[in-house]
Structures are given as structure tokens and as C-alpha cells.
A and B are shown apart, each in its own frame.
Chain A
Amino acid sequence: MKRFAALIDRLIYTRSRNSKLALIVDYLRHTPNPDRGWAIAALTESLDFPAVKAGTVRTLLATRVDEELFRLSRHFVGDTAETAALLWPDAQGKKADLSVSEAVDALAATSRSDAPAVVASLLDRLDADGRYALLKLALGGMRVGVSARLAKQAFAQAFDVPVDDVEELWHAIAPPYAPLFAWGEGRAERPDLADVAFFRPFMLAHPLEDGSVDLADYAAEWKWDGIRVQIVGGGGETRIYSRGGEEISGAFPELVAAFDQDAVIDGELLVRGEVQGGEAASFNALQQRLGRKVVSKKMLADYPAFVRVYDLLAVDGNDLRGLPWSERRRQLEAFVPRLADSHFDLSQVIDAADFDDLATRRAGARDAAIEGVMLKRRDAPYVAGRRAGLWYKWKRDPLTADCVMMYAQRGNGRRASFYSDYTFGCWTDGGELLPVGKAYSGFTDEELKWLDKFVRDNTLNRFGPVREVEKSLVLEVAFDSIHASKRHKSGLAMRFPRISRIRRDKPAEEADRIATLQAMVT
């Protein structure tokens, strides 16, 4: 537990992704099985011990620590696991280190009634940092900023194996992932994945910067603004994965229930919007459904989800990924009618005469849920990641607005000493500035230095980490789309806002008005 506790501690205080990666790589290389497998499962929140809950820990603490002192401490610390770890009295005498796997075994085997005694005996064998690690392991809520994607990358880097293979194997193997480590270390063959609802790494696209493609070689489809998902069905089981390989089946039970096929599809998860007459609603509506563990009936009714299917990766036990897009498309068109049309439809190929025609249609697309156009090479197989020349995304030209900087906040990591996050606003008819968005990208390092100096030289007020600035600087802000939003006073929410230009030349009074932005709402 010492090594695991030290790892968690370092991860808590490390901000940069690369440093986090290096810490996990080092841990995976130098920790034996099965501890490292359990540890990585704990970091990615893949463990659950139903018998141990926060209430168990509170009850347990009451046996060792005065309740009033616990209450005061909990109030100060703000986290039950950490409070308990710090308050638990150190046991006397030398303690043999407790391994992560011993702890996992004990926590998994306990019943609800035995849980307090089991947890107590484990806590007695640890110091404060170890107790923190144990309680986080038991209760979840690690919050060390390690996604499933990061963990898989760390694994690939630690054992020098392709990350695509790791992605594919990861979800098919249960913690503590012994076959995965055996393969990684070259002690065993790649595990066999027959009959498992496993995740296939997504094929991704490069942006189409300039120039054009020949539509004889490339098929065009609309790029929908939802979340890219993969639905894997088979062996009586259906799972939904997000682009990063996180399983999100729990948030969309109606889709799991409706997908009754031995097949793997790639598609865009969208929410049906009333205003669009049953067509796809904006990303805003979809956000209501994301990140939920329990989905209420009202949620299901108000924001009904469906999947627009792009591709077919496997069907009836056959892997189609090696086939060219045109052949997969043929099979996809034959397959989609097998799905319930209440929850699935086919992404249409855009029937453009040539590239200029396609450009015209792209420019004319007014649908809120259209992000742009996808161009897919007709003869390309489905391969993981971004490969040159196979798929392109051609986003709609961004919208822009001239806004006035209102507040600034410091960034993280390398940017900790720079005011790099900006809140900007536009004018109401009454001449008041209302915030319309926040951006922290789009500028060069040189521009950042200039913006940072502007913030420091023009500070009006400080609110903790936030500075209010003189409302004098106009920023040209680019964004993919803008939507009505009840969360903001301006009633507007931008999608992907970024700073496109600093308009030192433009007086603040001439920045755009809220009404102008409202006219862009889709």
C-alpha cells in the first residue's frame, strides 16, 4: 500500500498530463502483480465494494474518535475519507505493510455487517497516507485526474506495446488484468477476445485544412454534433463506449435495451429535439444526458437519445474492419433496417455532384446539429487512430463576434503565472456588458504575454483568483455555434469559443451587441 499511497499522493499534486503519465508508467513497471492491476483499476474507478460505504466509515470512526471532534474535523477537511485517514489513531508497534491485493480481497469478501471490523483491521495496519489510499480505494472518488485513456496510454508506454491493442483488450479483461500484463511483458500471447463485448479503438479524422478532394475517391457525410459512440452487442450483452473507451451504457439504458444484435456499430449519439421537428437537437440538449449514473423517467422523456449510424465494424461474428469503406457501407445499409427505427437511423451520404457542390451545401447547412462534413476514402479499411489521407473532417466555418474582455483568471501548470482564461461579454441594448462566454485558447505565446500584461495593468478588482479588468479590450472570438441557455444571464452559450484575434484597434463601444449574437442562435 506504501507504493500505491505514494503514487496517489504524487498524482494529486501533479497537474501536467505527461508527468502523470510518467508516474503511472514507473509504477506499472516496478510493482508486482496483482497489486498494479488493482491499483490501475482503482485509479480509473473500475472497482466497487458494495459492502463498504461512506456510512460504514463514519460509524467506524465513532468507535475510535469523539463524534463532535469528527464533525468539526470533517467540516474543516471537506472529505470523509481524508478526515478519517487523518483522525484514525496510529496503531502501536511495527506494522507489516498491507498489499493492495490483500486489501482488495478483504474488502470484496466482507459482508455489510462485517465491513466495519474488516476496515478497522486494515486501517490499523497503515499510516495516515496509507489509510487515505485504502479509504479512497474502498469508497471510490479518487479524483486524481486519471482517465481510462491515460491509464491505457501508460500501460502501452510501460511495456512498449501499441496503445490501440491495449484499448481493444482493456475492456475485455477484468481487474487485476493478469493476462494483459503477461502479454505486455512478453510472457504470453495476446489474449483471445472471442465472445466478449470488447471495445474497438475508433478511427479518427484529420482536419481538411486547404484544398479539396475528388469525390470519386471520397464519400461525404454530415458530421453530427453529438458524441461519437461505439455500441457493441453480442452474447446477450450490450455495451456503449465513448470515444475515449469509457463505458457509458449506464447513462443510456434505452439504447442498450433497443440494440438487440450481435454487431458492433460506430455512430453519433444525439438527442431528438422538438423544435427541430423530431430531428437532432443541439449539443446543449445532449449535455443534459451526459455524466449521469441514474437516469430518471423525465430525463428519458424530455431528452430522448438516438444513434445516427456511421459504420459497421462487425456483424454476426464477422470482423468487417479490414474491408474497404464501400463494402462496409453496403453491409451497413443492409444491417440498419434490423435496428429499431425509434432509436437508430442511418447517416446519409451527401449526394454532391462534385467538390464545389459539396462546398455550397456545407455553406448552406443551417441545422444546429451539423458540425461540418466528413470525407471518407472509399477504399480505406477501418483502422484505429488518425491515418493520413483516409478520413478528413471539414468543419463549418466558425462564427465570430467582437467581445469585450471582462474578467481573467490564471491558468494551470505551465500557465500558472499567466492570466490565460478570459471571460468576455457583449452589449445589451441598455448599454450594459453581459458575459457571453469564456475562452483560454487561440492565442500564441507572444499574445498570451501581452494579454497577461494587459490584465495586470488594467485590473479593477480582485475576487480570489479572478481579476476584473477595465472594459476596454476587444477580442474577436470564434465559435462553432451558439445556443440559447438558461444558465447564463445573457441567455447564450457558445460552443468551442476561442480567441481568434486581439482587436487593439477597435474601441470597446463598437463591440457586438447581444442582439447580434441572438440572431446567430441555431
Chain B
Amino acid sequence: MAKAKTWIEPHPSGIYVKPADLWIDPSRPVERAAVTHGHADHARSGHGAVFATPETLAIMALRYGVDAEASHNQAYEYGDGFERGGVRFSFHPAGHVLGSAQILMEYQGERIVVTGDYKRRPDPTCARFEVVPCDIFVTEATFGLPVFRHPPTGDEIAKLIGAVRAEPDRAVLVGAYALGKAQRVIAELRGAGWDAPIYIHGALEKMCQLYAIHGVDLGELRLVSETDKAEMAGQIVLAPPSALNDRWSRRLPDPVTAMASGWMRVRQRARQRMVELPLVISDHADWDELTATIAEVNPKESWITHGSEDGLLRWCELHQRKARALHLVGRDLEEEA
């Protein structure tokens, strides 16, 4: 696999594809960027040209002011792609958030997949992860430790609904990231039969509208700022995590503080965030999903990034799979250079 290193260079600031003079998920402005999904640690403003799915481009337009209509920015549906400098790029569902994609690159008979962030379990707000065979699999490892096993999403949603019904005089305030997690929790609640209005913090409004435009039905949403305190008793309220213990929460009736995140699996983490109702709902693959995916994709080599690289690296070692943490690769290249 020495060949791959001649055309793809992992750097701390992103992955550089040499023959195409293009970066994947760069953290600083570049001339050409292919972007896996809309979260801020992958997408940002200031690039010359952006290549992404239509949904990701729309999210970047909303969040970072990227001009989605400009001709230098190109949108590709899942399965589609483009060629540049002899490299064939294509986008495949990653199951992380709306529009999230794995990026497959093919060059002189060699195939590399960059997953961005992904999960394997079903999510009503986005297309499900597809296994794309490849030689080098660049995988995230946010939950790359065996303590992270997310319980079935349905159980966590049932826990949330149970908590609301148990205390009809209180609101349950769920902290959820504004892009992805919030909409997924809402959609999962709808799927579980919760058809009352769901109350949201103003910071979630535009992203929920964007999801609705892209065909994700979120039911009736009401803004907390336009609602009487008393109306929200016995109801579910969503806000970004930063608002949970902020002054903003005083406008809710005696709220029970909940938080939807994979980190909630660890009790001390939940306690540190002053959470009363931890909900283990994550948009990232858990340990079992990460390891099963590597086995299923069965690449010649795995490059591990974003999170607990050491744990997943150790698993690969135990299973005689060739793997390296990406920051190490980046450092090696610098030494060669």
C-alpha cells in the first residue's frame, strides 16, 4: 500500500489529495474542498470551491454563508461524483446527519474511503450508511473504546416520554446539537407516537426548517420564546446543550434537564453536565459498530482519526488488521518531507 502515500497526504488540518489539488474536510480555507457533512469541525467558510451533497451545501449556506448557488460550488447526489486530476470522487451515505457522505476516491486502481462521521443504526432523518469496499478505510473513532455501547434508540426515546408523563407539572428540557441530533430526536419522538407540539429554542428553528424542506417531517414545532410558560408543563423542549443551565431555561416550568449524547453512557460525564435525565442517543458509531464496520469493509489498511484512536488501533492489532492513527501518518510524512 506504499502507493497510496504518493497521492494522498493526511495533515493535521485535513486530507490532501495531491493529483486533484483538493482537500477533504479542511479546517482552514483552501482553494478546493470536498466536504463530508455540515458540522463545524468538517465544514467551514472561505473555500474557493466546495464539492458536497446538495443537503450539505444547503447546510453550509445556512450556517457559514457559503453560496450554494455559485457555479464553482458543486452538488452531487449519493452515488454521483466527479473526476479531477485522474482521481474519481463519489459520495455515499454515511448515516450521520442529513446529507452526510463518505467520500470514495479511485486513482490508478486504488480505492480510498473517507467516512467523515458515521453511524450504522437507522435514523429517520438521513440515508443509511452503505458499505463501500476499498483498500484504505479512513474511519472516525469518536467512541473508539469498548465502554461505549449505545442502547437501542427506542429504549432511550421511551425513557424520555416516560419522564415527561411522570411529572406533568414540569417540562423536560433536552439538550441536543442544533444540527442533526435535535432533528433526529424530534423525528424519533414522532415515530414513537408523540404528536404534541414540540417546543424549541430559537437557535434550532432554521435548521429544523431546512430539514423540513428536504422532506424530513418534524410535525408541529413551536418556539419557546413565543409560548407561555404554563403551556410547556408536561411537554418536551429542545435546546442546544449550551442553553441547558443558562438563564434562558428559567422561562420553562421547573425543567427536568436531559441531554441526548453518546457521552451520557458514562455517569460522571452526565453528572458533570448537571444532567438529570441522560439519554444515550448518538449520531456516531459505537464500539460495536466501529469494529463491525472495519470487519465488513475489510480494507487492506485502516486509518483512524477523530477521537479514541488508541482503542480502535488496539482492536485492529488484536485482530491482525493493519491500521494506523492518522496523526501518526501525518507526522511520518512530515519527516519524509
Interface secondary structure of A, over-half rule: helix
Residues of B within 8 A of A (CB): 145-149, 245-247, 249-250, 257, 265-268, 270-271, 274-278, 308, 310-311, 314-315, 318
How many residues of chain A are within 8 Å of chain B by beta carbon? 26
Contact B278 A13 (CB under 8 A): yes
Are B311 and A417 interface neighbours, CB within 8 A?
no
A384 lies within 8 A of chain B by Cβ: no
Q: Quick one: which of A13, A15, A73 contacts B145, CB cutoff 8 A? A: A73
CB-based contact B267/A12 at 8 Å: yes
Say yes or no: B270 contacts A77, CB within 8 Å: no
Between B146, B247, B308, the greatest number of chain A beta carbons within 10 A of the residue's beta carbon is seen for: B146
Q: Which of A439-457 contact B (CB under 8 A)?
A: 456
Q: A407-429 CB contact bits vs B (8 Å, 1 = yes)?
A: 00010100011000000000000
Contact of A86 among B245, B250, B265 (CB under 8 A): B265
User: Could you list 14 A-B pairs, sorted by A, with CB under 8 Å?
Assistant: A13-B270, A13-B271, A13-B275, A13-B276, A13-B277, A65-B146, A68-B314, A69-B315, A72-B145, A72-B310, A77-B266, A79-B268, A128-B149, A417-B245
Q: Closest CB-CB distance, B280 to chain A, in whole Å? A: 10
Q: Is the beta-carbon distance between A69 and B249 smaller than 8 angstroms?
A: no
Q: Is the CB of B311 within 8 A of A72?
A: yes
Chain A, range 31-84, C-beta contacts under 8 Å to B: 65-66, 68-69, 72-73, 76-79, 82-83
| Contact between chains at A78 and B314 (CB < 8 Å) | no
A416 to B249, CA, bound (A): 10
Q: A440: shortest Cβ distance to chain B, in Å?
A: 16
- List A contacts of B277 (CB < 8 A): 13
Is the pair A72, B308 in contact by a Cβ cutoff of 8 Å?
yes
Specify which of A13, A69, A132 is in contact with B146 (CB 8 Å cutoff): A69
Which residues from A are CB-within-8-Å of B276? 13-15
B311 x A69 contact (CB < 8 A):
yes
Question: In the bound complex, what is the Cα–Cα distance between A9 and B193 (angstroms)?
Answer: 26
Q: Which of chain B's residues have a CB closer than 8 A to the CB of A417? A: 245-247, 249-250
Verify if A358 is at the interface (C-beta below 8 Å from B). Answer: no
CB distance from B107 to the nearest CB of A (A): 35
CB under 8 Å from chain B, chain A span 210-224 = none
Nearest Cβ distance between residue B317 and chain A, in whole angstroms?
9
- A138 CA to B247 CA in the complex, in Å? 41
Interchain CA distance A14-B270 in the complex, whole Å: 11
Q: Is the CB of A73 within 8 A of B147?
A: yes
Can you add 12 more A-B contacts, CB < 8 Å, to A73-B147, A77-B147, A77-B268? Answer: A9-B267, A12-B267, A15-B274, A66-B318, A68-B314, A69-B314, A76-B145, A76-B147, A79-B268, A87-B146, A417-B247, A456-B247
Closest chain B residue, CB of each to CB of A127: B151
Residues of B within 8 A of A9 (CB): 267
List A contacts of B314 (CB < 8 A). 66, 68-69, 72
B167 CB to closest chain A CB (Å) equals 10
Which are the 9 A-B pairs with shortest beta-carbon distances? A86-B147, A73-B147, A13-B276, A416-B245, A73-B145, A68-B314, A72-B311, A77-B266, A69-B146
* CA A416 to CA B276, docked complex, whole Å: 12
B145 touches A82 (CB 8 A): no
- Write out the residue numbers on chain A whose beta carbons fall within 8 Å of the beta carbon of B278: 13
Cβ–Cβ contact A410 & B245, under 8 A: yes
Assuming the contacts A72-B311, A73-B147, asked whether A78 and B245 have C-beta atoms less than 8 A apart, the reply is no
Known: A78-B268, A417-B247, A417-B250. A87 touches B147 (CB 8 A): yes
CB-CB under 8 A from A132, the residues of chain B are 267
With A417-B246, A417-B247, A417-B249 known as contacts, the answer to whether A73 contacts B267 (CB < 8 A) is: no
Cβ distance B275 to chain A, nearest Cβ, rounded Å = 6
Give chain A residues whose Cβ lies under 8 Å from the Cβ of B315.
69
Bitwise interface map of A from 5 to 37 toward B, beta carbon under 8 Å scored 1, else 0:
000010011110000000000000000000000
Task: Indicate whether A73 sits within 8 Å of B146 (C-beta atoms), given known contacts A68-B314, A417-B246, A417-B250.
Answer: yes
A58 CB → nearest B CB, Å: 15
Residue in A closest to B270 when the chains form the complex, CB atoms: A13
B149 contacts across to A, CB distance below 8 A: 86, 128
In the complex, chain B residues whose CB is within 8 Å of the CB of A82: 266-268
CB distance from B149 to the nearest CB of A (A): 7
**Across-interface contacts of B145 in A (CB, < 8 A):** 69, 72-73, 76
Task: Please measure, in the bound complex, the distance between the C-alpha atom of A13 and the C-alpha atom of B273, giving whole angstroms.
Answer: 10
CB A317 to nearest CB in B, in angstroms, measures 49
User: Closest B-chain residue to A14, C-beta based?
Assistant: B276
| Cα–Cα distance between A13 and B147 once the two chains are bound (Å) | 20
Q: Give the CA-CA distance A66 to B266 in the complex, in Å.
A: 20
Query: What's the Cα separation between A69 and B147 when bound, in Å?
Result: 9
CB neighbours (8 Å) of B257 from chain A are 416
Taking A13-B271, A13-B278, A79-B268 as contacts, is the C-beta distance between A73 and B311 under 8 angstroms?
yes
- CB-nearest residue of chain B relative to A85? B147
Most chain A beta carbons < 10 A, residue from B250, B257, B276: B276
A66's nearest neighbour on chain B, judged by CB, is: B318
Give Cα A512 to B270, complex, Å. 41
What's the least CB distance linking A79 to chain B, in Å? 7
**Interface centre among B148, B149, B246, B267, by most A CB within 10 Å?**
B267
Minimum distance in angstroms from A71 CB to a CB of chain B: 10
- CB-nearest residue of chain B to A10: B276
Closest approach, in angstroms, between the C-beta of A28 and any C-beta of chain B?
19
B308 to chain A, nearest CB (A): 7
Q: In the assembly, what is the distance between CA of A256 and CA of B265, in Å?
A: 45
> Distance in Å from the Cβ of A458 to the closest Cβ of chain B?
15
Q: Which residue of B is nearest A414, CB measured?
A: B254
CA distance A77 to B270 in the complex (A): 11
**Docked pose: A86 CA to B308 CA in angstroms:** 16
Residues of A within 8 A of B311 (CB): 69, 72-73
Closest to A410 in B: B245
- Cα distance A410–B288 in the bound complex, in angstroms: 38
- Distance of A76 Cα from B146 Cα, bound (Å): 11
Q: Which residue of B lies closest to A19 (CB)?
A: B276
Minimum CB distance partner of B247 in chain A: A417
- Residues on A with beta carbons closer than 8 Å to the beta carbon of B308: 72, 76
Chain A residues near B266: list those with CB within 8 A: 76-77, 82, 86
A14 to B274, CA, bound (A): 9
Given contacts A13-B278, A69-B314, A416-B274, whether A83 and B147 have CB atoms under 8 Å apart is: yes
| Complex alpha-carbon distance, A118 and B310, angstroms | 32
A13 to B271, CA, bound (A): 6
